[in-house]
């Protein structure tokens, strides 16, 4: 018997501690921003628009560069020839999640890669739930007995 896994979503983890001070600086004063989307998060959480003017400043170019390097590494691991392609960061935005906040389920189409940079995660912080894009598109109920291939979601600390 031959078993092949198709269409799986992979999660890549990289320590970006070298940019955390810059990321914290970008997040400072998020409550005072004019680019807040109050409807994106429930129970008092905050999301900025992707065009957040703070992140578009050149003082954050190093942060964007380090994110692009991480995306390039992930792409290379997927056999993408990065001599032929260049990472383009289309959007950056920020979230501040408060106790019992919840962000709406969403997708990042048409992006080939999407990511999260966690600036602060206090002890007891909730997980991030990643949903299967296949399950979201499928009309079938799936097979019984969920595993890493057919699960509807995975929770990651």
Average pLDDT over residues 78-103: 90
How much is the mean pLDDT over the chain?
85
Question: pLDDT tens digits, residue range 56-76?
Answer: 899 999 999 999 999 999 999
Span 13-36, pLDDT tens digits: 999 999 999 999 999 989 888 888
- Is 0.85 surpassed by the pTM of this model? no
Q: Are the C-beta atoms of residues 130 and 154 closer than 8 Å to each other?
A: yes
Give the chain's length: 157
Q: Is the pLDDT of residue 139 over 60?
A: no
> What pLDDT is recorded for position 73?
95
pLDDT at position 143 over 60: no
């Amino acid at each position: 018997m031959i078993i092949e896994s198709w269409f799986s979503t992979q999660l890549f983890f990289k320590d970006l501690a070298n940019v955390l001070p810059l990321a914290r600086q970008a997040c400072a004063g998020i409550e005072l921003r004019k680019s807040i989307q109050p409807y994106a998060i429930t129970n008092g959480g905050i999301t900025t628009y992707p065009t957040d003017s703070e992140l578009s400043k050149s003082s954050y170019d190093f942060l964007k560069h380090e994110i692009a390097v991480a995306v390039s590494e992930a792409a290379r691991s997927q056999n993408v020839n990065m001599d032929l392609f260049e990472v383009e960061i289309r959007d950056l935005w920020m979230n501040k999640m408060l106790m019992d906040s919840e962000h709406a389920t969403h997708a990042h189409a048409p992006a080939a890669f999407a990511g999260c940079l966690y600036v602060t995660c206090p002890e007891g912080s909730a997980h991030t739930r990643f949903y299967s894009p296949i399950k979201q598109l499928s009309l079938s109920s799936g097979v019984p007995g969920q595993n890493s291939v057919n699960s509807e979601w995975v929770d990651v600390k």
